[in-house]
């Protein structure tokens, strides 16, 4: 699997897998628009999910990352994790921590995941639970403590909004006090629920940059072992960079469809009908298609198009002169469903 471009890899380097779109919380900035009533009716069954896990192992893919929805809320999640781990696949888990009781903490520690990320969006219960309705600050903090005590220190993830940006430094201090391995943040992503409520919840670029400066200065001053990790790009820049140099990954959504990026609605493959190997070929081809390039360019002038991020469009629209008519593409988008 040597090579520097995505076309040079015989298989992806990792799989980002959303086991479900259901979550106990209804976070105001959720990328996936998850919630207690947001399970997809066609999500992969236990048998289908385990079959995908077997394909990942057989393909020699070294890394699998699980997000959501809440992956630990899926009854067969542990079977998937354990099958992958037994096959030599390193694991990453993104969770709200609600399901990490003592037994779950023991199971996670036994799996030796490469990374566990737990979301904390405020230095107090009032702020955290305002930004993440339906979540519990107390349960989240208790989960972090359980993992840390088992030598499985998680990373704390902080999503900035106008409601919590002023607490960024205090949340870093909380992460350090809890023994977290890292404090992870980045610009608010304009997709999912955040895109729908952007004008109401987004902090300004100036506010974000001020917070970043304060975080860096504070982290250096206190010298805590908790690493500060700030993602540098917003979602529009991310799409443009990936168009030029796609990641060697497959994003698998809850119904088994394969997407290019969480901000893009295109789904060039479906693991219910396609092998993982053929999905990888379709993924690479899709990044070089005119319709994907045109959509990304259109998003720069009309960020409102990002409201389609959680849809799954088939590839191959009507073309004129080898290029997809942008007006037809957008009309199709407005009429599309997941």
> Where in the chain are the domains?
6-238
Q: Looking at residue 324, what is its pLDDT?
A: 45
Q: Looking at residue 102, what is its pLDDT?
A: 98
Q: Looking at residue 127, what is its pLDDT?
A: 98
CATH number for region 6-238: 3.20.20.70
pTM for the predicted model, two decimal places: 0.92
Please give the radius of gyration of the chain, using alpha carbons only, rounded to the nearest integer: 20
Whether 295 and 329 have beta carbons less than 8 Å apart is answered as yes
pLDDT tens-digit readout, 96-105: 999 999 999 9
Whether 202 and 188 have beta carbons less than 8 Å apart is answered as yes
Q: Looking at residue 333, what is its pLDDT?
A: 53
Name, in order, each residue with C-beta under 8 angstroms of 229's C-beta and a sequence gap of 6 or more: 155, 182, 183, 184, 185
The values of phi and psi at residue 91, to 5°, are: -120, 140
Q: Looking at residue 226, what is its pLDDT?
A: 98
Positions of the chain with pLDDT under 70: 1-4, 317-338
């Amino acid at each position: 699997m040597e090579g520097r471009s995505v076309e040079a890899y015989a298989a992806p380097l990792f799989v980002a897998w959303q086991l479900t779109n259901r979550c106990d919380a209804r976070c105001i900035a959720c990328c996936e628009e998850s919630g207690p009533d947001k399970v997809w009716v066609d999500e992969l069954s236990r048998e289908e999910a385990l079959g995908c896990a077997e394909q990942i192992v057989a393909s020699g893919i070294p890394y699998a990352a699980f997000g959501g929805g809440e992956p630990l809320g899926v009854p067969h999640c542990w079977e998937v994790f354990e099958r992958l781990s037994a096959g030599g696949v390193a694991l990453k888990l993104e969770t709200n921590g609600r399901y990490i009781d003592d037994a779950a903490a023991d199971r996670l520690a036994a799996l030796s995941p490469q990374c566990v990320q737990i979301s904390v969006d405020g230095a107090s219960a009032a702020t955290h639970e305002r930004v993440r309705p339906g979540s519990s600050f107390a349960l989240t903090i208790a989960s972090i403590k359980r993992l840390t005590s088992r030598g499985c220190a998680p990373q704390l993830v902080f999503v900035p909004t106008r409601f919590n940006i002023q607490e960024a430094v205090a949340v870093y201090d909380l992460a350090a006090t809890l023994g977290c391995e890292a404090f992870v943040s980045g610009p608010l992503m304009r997709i999912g629920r955040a895109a729908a409520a952007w004008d109401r919840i987004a902090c300004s670029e100036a506010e974000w940059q001020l917070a970043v400066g304060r975080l860096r200065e504070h982290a250096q001053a206190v010298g805590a072992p908790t690493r500060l990790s700030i993602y540098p790009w917003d979602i529009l820049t991310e799409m443009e960079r990936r168009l030029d140099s796609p990641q060697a990954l497959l994003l698998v959504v809850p119904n088994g469809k394969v997407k290019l990026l969480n901000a893009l609605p295109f789904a060039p493959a479906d693991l219910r009908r396609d092998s993982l190997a053929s999905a990888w070929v379709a993924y690479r081809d899709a990044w070089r298609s005119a319709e994907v390039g045109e959509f990304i360019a259109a998003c720069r002038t009309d960020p409102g198009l990002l409201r389609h991020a959680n849809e799954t469009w088939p590839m191959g629209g009507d073309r004129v002169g080898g290029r997809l008519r942008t007006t037809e593409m957008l009309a199709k988008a407005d009429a599309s469903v997941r």
